Amino acid sequence: MVGNTHSHDNPASDTVPVPKPDEFIAHLAELEELIEDLKTAKITAEAARPQRKLKK
């Protein structure tokens, strides 16, 4: 049985192409690099932030 492809009930994911394994690995590497860049930026920002002294 073939479903109606013109129905509004078809999921959008049904038309999204699945990346090839090498494309997926490349995207994963880009994501890992982005995460490392964000961690580095956070450390740099925290180091540049003025430190507060506790009141006694």
d(Cα 3, Cα 14) in Å, to the nearest integer?
12
Residue 14's closest CA among 27, 4, 1, 28?
4
Q: Specify the DSSP element, H or E, that contains 30.
A: helix 21-48
Walk along the chain (56 residues) and give the pLDDT tens digit of each residue. Answer: 555 556 666 666 667 788 999 999 999 999 999 999 999 999 999 888 888 777 77
Q: Are 45 and 37 in contact (CB under 8 A)?
A: no
Residue 21: predicted pLDDT? 96
Where do the structural domains in the chain lie, given as residue ranges? Answer: 18-46
Predicted structure pTM score? 0.58
